[in-house]
Structure 1
C-alpha cells in the first residue's frame, strides 16, 4: 500500500469515527457526560491521524495540517467560528482559576421562536442571524471573557461583574444591539444570568443555573433577562418530582374529576357544571392544579390530561343517562389547553369519544381561553367552527384578560362568554369597574352570547350581576368544586327542596 492510499484510509477512518461519534453524542447525551463523549470522539479521531506518523515518514507537513484541521473542528463552532462547548468549558475554568478575586457572571440566552424564523425564512436566514449575533458578541467581549454557541440558537457567555448598575447597563446594551440589529427580522432574546459564587460548583452547574433563570422568563415579552435565585432551583426540583410521577399517576387514575355547579341567575337553578381536574397523590394528597397544569402545558402532557378528563366526562354523562334521569339535562363544560391549537383533528377526536359513549355533543361545552384563540385566530376559528357544526357548545374562557379585538369577537363561532374572574373580582365593587362589566354584558347580549360570571363570591356581586342581566353564575358564593358523588348528592338535595 503506497503513502496516498494509507493516507486516504486513515483520514477516512478518522472522519468515520467523527460521524459515528456525533450521532452517538446527539442521541445519548442525556445518558453520558457530553464532555467525556466529545473527548473520546476527538481522542479516537486524533489517534487515527497519529497512526499515520507511525506508518509513514513522508509528507509531515500535510499530516500536521490534517491534525490541525481536526483540532479546529473540535475547538470551534463550524457556523460562527466561536468556541465550541467543550473548549468554552475548559477556557472558562482557566479564566476563573486565573482571576480568583474577580466576580464573573455566567449567561445563557436564546432567540424566542427561532424555529419559526427557520420555517418561515429558511435555514440560510437562521444561520445568518446566528453568525451576526456571534459577531456582535465578539465586539462586546473584553479580555478574560468568553462566549460560545452551545446549541442551535443557544449562546453561553462568561463576563465580568463589577456592580449591579454597571452590569445591568452592559447587559441591556448587549440585548438592545442583538434585538435591534436588523430591520428585516424581528429578534427577541431571553437571557438568564448566574453570578458565580463558589467556583467549585463547576461550569456545567453555572450554565444550568443560568438556564433556569432564562426559562423563568421564556416567551415573556415584557422581560428580557433574569438573575438566578435559589427559589428557581427548588421549583425545578419540584417540577422534576412531578414529571417523574405524572405518567404513573395517569395510569393509576390519580387525576380525579371535580365538578363546580353553574346556576341560572334568573331562578338559581343548577343547569350544569364545569369539569375540573384534581391530582390525588397517594403520598402528598390533593395537589392543586396551579402546581401542575402550567408545567403540563410546558411539557405537553396536558394533551393527555385534557383527553383523559373529556373521556371521564363522557363516561359520567353516560352513567347519568342510564342511572339518574334527574341529571340528564346537565351540560358539562370541559377545558382545553392552548397546546391543542395545532391539532386540526381535535373536533373529530372529541366526536369519536363522545360517540363511543353515545353522548349527544350538545351535552358538552368546550372551553377555550381567550388567549388561546387570539394567539392563532385563523386556525382556532376553523377548529371552533368544526366543533360547533358537530354540535358542541363553545365558550370563551377568561374573557377580558387578553384585550381582544371586538371585531374578531363578533366573527367567532362561540355560544358563551365567561368573564375573567380576576378582572371581575377586582372591579365589581368600584364604579368604573361596574361600567366596564356592564359594557361587556351589553356587548355579549348584542352578539347573542350567553354570559357566565365565574368567581362570584359575595351577595353584592350576585345582586349587581342579576341587575345587569348576566345569565349564569359560578363561584364559591353558591358552591365550591366537589367530587362527582358529592355533586350528585348536592343536586338531588336541591331538587328535592325545590
Structure 2
C-alpha cells in the first residue's frame, strides 16, 4: 500500500462501504446498519478488511483511510434518512490510532455539521484490540465523543484473542459477540451457559449485546431468551452497496 490513499481507482471509489442489517429479534425489524469497507487498489484488485487493516494500522495511513470511510458513512446516513429508511444508526470502523489524534473530536463534529447529519446516527466500531490499550487516552476521547452523541460498538468480543475482562475499562454502547461465540450455541449445556454468562457480563456493564454469525431463527430465539436482543449474520442479510438500502416498502 502506498503512503497516500487514492480517492479513485479506475473510475471506482478507492474506498467503498457496504452495509448489512442488524435486526431486533422480537420484531424482526432492522435496528442498525453495520458497514464493511472494500478497498479498490490499482494492483491487487478489491481488498476486504482482513487483507488491509493490519497493514494500514502499523502506519498513520489508517487515519487518512478512516476519514474517507467516515465521510462516506455520514453521506450514506444522510441518504438513508432522505429515503425514509428506518434505522437508529449505522456503524463505521474506527482505528484505535484515531482516538489518539487531538483533532478527532473537532473533525468528526465538522463532518457531521457539514453534511447536516446528527451525531446519534453514527456508531464507531472498534476492534477488540482496543482492549489492549494501556494509557487511558483512548477511553477519554471515547467519553468525549459519546457526550457529543456518537455511539461506540466493540466488535469481535469473545474471540480467542480478546482480553474480555478489560471491557470494564471502556464505556461502549454496544458489544458485538464474535461468531465464535454464536457457534457454541446448541453444542452442549456448558457451551450455552458460557454464552449466557458472556451476555450477562455485557449487560451488567450497561452495554447492549449484539450476536454475530447468527444462521437461523432457533439461534436468534435462544439468544433473545438469554438477553441478547440484536443479531446479525446470514439470518439477517448480507452486505450490500448503499444504493440497495431502501425503505422496506420500496425494496
Q: Same fold (TM over 0.5)?
A: yes
Q: Is structure 2 residue 39 aligned with structure 1 residue 279?
A: yes
> Offset at 1:372?
1.1
Note if contact 1:263-1:269 (Cα within 8 Å) is conserved in structure 2: yes
Matched, 1:254 2:11: no
* Structure 2: distance between partners of 1:284 and 1:411: 39
Take 1:300 and 1:248, find their aligned partners in 2: how far apart are those partners?
Answer: 11
Choose which of 180, 205, 228 in structure 2 pairs with 1:470: 228
Q: Within 1, Cα distance between the matches of 2:54 and 2:24?
A: 31
Partner of 1:429: 186
Q: How many angstroms does 1:327 deviate by?
A: 1.6
Taking a change above 3 Å as real, the CA distance of residues 288 and 412 of structure 1, as seen in their structure-2 partners, is: closer
Q: Which residue of 2 aligns with 1:454?
A: 212
Q: Distance in 2 between matches of 1:467 and 1:496?
A: 32
* Pairs within 5 Å for 1:472-487: 472-487=230-245
Give the conservation status (yes or no) of the 8 Å contact 1:441–1:451.
Answer: yes
Matched, 1:314 2:74: yes
How far did residue 384 of structure 1 move?
Answer: 1.1
Separation in 2 of the partners of 1:435 and 1:268? Answer: 25
Q: Secondary structure at the match of 1:391?
A: coil
Partner of 2:164 in structure 1?
404
- The residue that corresponds to 2:115 in the other structure is 357
Q: Which residue of 1 aligns with 2:131?
A: 373
Aligned to 1:327: 85
Query: In 1, Cα distance between the equivalents of 2:226 and 2:210?
Result: 12
Larger relative contact order (C-alpha < 8 A, sep ≥ 6)? Answer: 2
1:313-346 deviation line (CA, Å, top 9, x unaligned): 111222334x31x226441011111222422432
Q: Provide the TM-score with structure 2 as the length reference.
A: 0.86
Deviations 1:147-196 (A, max 9, x none): xxxxxxxxxxxxxxxxxxxxxxxxxxxxxxxxxxxxxxxxxxxxxxxxxx
Q: 1:30-71 CA deviation, whole Å, 9 max, x = no partner?
A: xxxxxxxxxxxxxxxxxxxxxxxxxxxxxxxxxxxxxxxxxx
| CA-CA distance at 1:422 after TM superposition | 2.8
Q: Relative to total residues, which structure has the larger helix share, 1 or 2?
A: 1
Question: Given the two structures, how large is their TM-score scaled by the length of structure 1?
Answer: 0.46
Aligned residue pairs: how many? Answer: 245
Match of 1:292 in 2: 52
Question: Residues 337 and 453 (structure 1 numbering): CA distance in 2 closer, same or farther, change over 3 Å?
Answer: same
Answer yes or no: is the 8 Å Cα contact 1:272–1:330 preserved in 2.
yes
| Cα distance in 2 for residues equivalent to 1:380 and 1:305 | 19
Q: What's the counterpart of residue 104 of structure 2?
A: 346
- Residue in structure 2 matched with residue 11 of structure 1 by the alignment: none
Aligned to 2:63: 303
Distance 2:137 2:59 in 1: 22
Structure 1 position 282, deviation (Å)? 6.7
Where 2:154 maps in the other structure, the secondary structure is strand
Q: How far off is 1:496 after superposition?
A: 6.1
Question: Do 1:373 and 1:380's aligned partners in 2 also have CA atoms closer than 8 Å?
Answer: no
Large movers: runs of 4+ above 4 Å: 281-285
C-alpha change, 1:330 and 1:485, in structure 2 (3 Å) is farther
Partner of 2:140: 382
Contact persistence 1:341–1:372 (CA under 8 A): no
Helix, strand or coil at the partner of 1:299:
coil
Quote how far apart the aligned CAs of 1:479 are.
0.7
- Structure 2 distance, partners of 1:390, 1:328, is 22
SS of residue matched to 1:372: helix
